[in-house]
Structure 1
Amino acid sequence: MQENNSVTEFILLGLTQDPMKKKMVFVIFLIFYLGTVVGNLLIMVTIKSSRTLGSPMYFFLFYLSLADSCLSTSTAPRLIVDSLSATKTISYNECMTQVFALHFFGTMEVFVLILMAIDRYVAICKPLHYATIMRRQVCIILIVIAWLGAFIHSITEIILALRLPFCGPNLIDHYCCDLQPLLKLACMDTYLINLEWVSNSGSVCTGSFVTLMISYIVILHSLRNHSAEGRKKALSTCISHIIVVVLFFGPCIFIYSRPPTTFSMDKMVSVFYTIGTPFLNPFIYTLRNAEVKNAMRKLWHIKITSESKR
């Protein structure tokens, strides 16, 4: 499809054109990105190293942290580098790769959040059958299905992007490549492609969000039959999950479930779910989860002890 284009590269306008604000963008998002990578890597290492975090909930949390790290990596490094660069060009192939990565890891996060909700539903509503239903083999199969689902969705998105002919201009009013800003540059009637895009991404975001909220309402309603201690522990876990769901899906629905209308806040909303939420997730899951915090302390204690013996 690129052979039919006169545009071989794009220019990303970024979040701001103000020199002082560009420096602020560099510092703020460098901190956010490093915090995201370190925080999620710490969770993944802790889960893999701890024997106490072997339950399906932490198995899925590992992949949520992986998806968070990769989602942020698909956009944040370029935003950080471009904030100090005189030229913010991105080649056509790099742009298409970014579209694929953004949707792949974003959709992977969506599906993992659904799997975490399923895990909590079975644990709270079907406690006697939990060990049987959420076996290790079942969890692995569910994760593989999530990866395949994310891949199929991303392939669909990239096919839509590759169908767009670009004749100029090549200025993308965004900090990353995505279908919405690319549609504005295409030299063709994009009504049908936009309809397919909203039907695909919009339905994934909205449908998943509604499904998750209904499942958590059912879970919270079922807690009335539990003991006070069990209710408190389950409620703490579910609230953490609900916070993550709202923070992630709110901006996604705003961006992907509407007609091709551009708002001035679009770029900041996109920043929130591609960089902000992956940064916040480690804090939400560690600060509200005693088991994760205890496992991290043990891991840190073992590390310090081994270092002191050398």
Structure 2
Amino acid sequence: MKTGFGAKKPELNELTRVKDRVSFLYLEHADIKRQDSALKVEDQQGIIFVPAAIINVLFLGPGVNITHRAMELIGNTSMAVVWIGEYGVRQYAHGRALNHSSTLIEKQAKLVSNKRTRVQVARKMYQMRFPHEDVSGLSMAELRGKEGSRIRNVYRQESKKSGVKWYRRQYKVDNFNDSSPINKALTEAHQCLYGLSYAVITALGASPALGFVHTGHDLSFVYDFADLYKAKYSIPIAFKVTAKYGDNDISDRVRLAMRDAFRNGQLLKQMVSDLKYLLNAQDFVSTTTIMSLWDDKEGLKKFGVQYHEFEE
């Protein structure tokens, strides 16, 4: 029997902007349905209602059942969805967030397809990590080495500050619990950062696959983008939480700490601004959609018009 279909699909300009939304919501062992414009989430502790238009990315962990109607609402409100394994170790699938403009992905494709402009964007990414140095003359190999040294130094500094011993980054994808507490915390923290990066990239209409540093993977640009923020967010938070709680509920505690850091640091606003900067699209505003027909000689032609053959 059919029931009410809830609120009508919102227009793009009616939705909450990406930078003003809650960064992410993680759910596991729950049933998710739709009630009007909210997600109805039910588990052993009870029922809550989540307004769909205020969440950027929804992480679905083990034991989640979600209805077709709920997924329809998620798609209509531009919420990204990522299906992940236990402890966030694996990303199994993702649902593309709604976007109506191809402006950013066209700019991104043009930049990544030319060796000169691709290097320029990559240098911009590295320059953001080294704001007080000029990296414009460094090769990609030199930039990789410089970044590797920076990250190793970040690990050493956070280890010294927190008192958590650090040896090296090591984890087993198939056995999360076999890692050390700090490596577990880092895995969980990085996953949160990847999810938020993915949500911003897709929601604005760019491609998660067209990376400038990483390449060959459908999430290459997500890894590019997330690497900009690891030294400020995921790495220090992982060490801080591990120092305070050890191996006690490390996954849940890291997720909560990352959520709070995203909100307090206004990372979403920063990500939106940074993405536009990297793709040379600072003035881009995705509020309207203009569909056109492409012509190699006459440029863009009006869409929705019945054209006729030229007469002799």
TM-score (norm 1): 0.32
By relative contact order (CA 8 Å, sep 6+), the higher-ranking structure is 1
TM-score (norm 2): 0.32
Higher fraction of strand:
2
